Amino acid sequence: MSQNRQYELVYIVSPDASEQAIAELHTQVEQIVQRFNGTLDKTENWGRRKLAYEIGKAREGTYVVETITGSGEMMKEIDRRLRVTDSIIRHLIVRVDEAIRVADRLRDQRKATQARRRVARGLPPEPSPSERRSDRDMDDSDDLGLEGTDQR
């Protein structure tokens, strides 16, 4: 069970590092993941970004986001490695599976409530796109009415 935790790893590579160095770092991470029988689900390279504040002497850095599924031990090892690597100026590991599960449950609950209420009003459970838009328009006109424009 602890093997199936999903983590998000974000690291900022120093602006001095070459493209090749960044690719190497990525393969390093990949190797650790493979060694611990995890899976690397997604890699996103945001490219060079200006930092909101200086870290050391760097004013910008290359952001890389990796989504990894695996154990906590594995993330510990990755954390240790990144901490030791000089060309990485900052990194962050966040466990995301539980947050995503909560978000999914909330979304499903909301959908179920909406469907139940719609059925209770004698409508089909799923609103059509055009219907949704008209709902919003009605809300807007209500607001305008309250603010005193003479729409009615």
CB of residue 33 vs other proteins: minimum separation in angstroms? 20
1 interacts with other proteins by CB under 8 A: no
Contacts of 11 (CB under 8 A, 6+ apart): 25, 63, 64, 82, 88, 90, 91, 92
Distance (Å, whole) CA 120 – CA 117? 5
Residue number with CB closer to other proteins (147 or 150): 147
> Is 3 or 127 the residue whose CB approaches other proteins more closely?
127
Q: Which of residues 54-73 bind other proteins (CB under 8 A)?
A: 55, 61, 63, 65
Q: Which two tokens stand for residue 68?
A: 């990894």
Angstrom distance (rounded) from CA 30 to CA 38: 9
The count of residues interacting with other proteins (CB under 8 A) is 22
Using CB under 8 A as the criterion, which residues of the chain lie in contact with other proteins when the complex forms?
A: 10, 12, 51-53, 55, 61, 63, 65, 90, 92, 94, 99-100, 102-104, 106-107, 110, 146-147
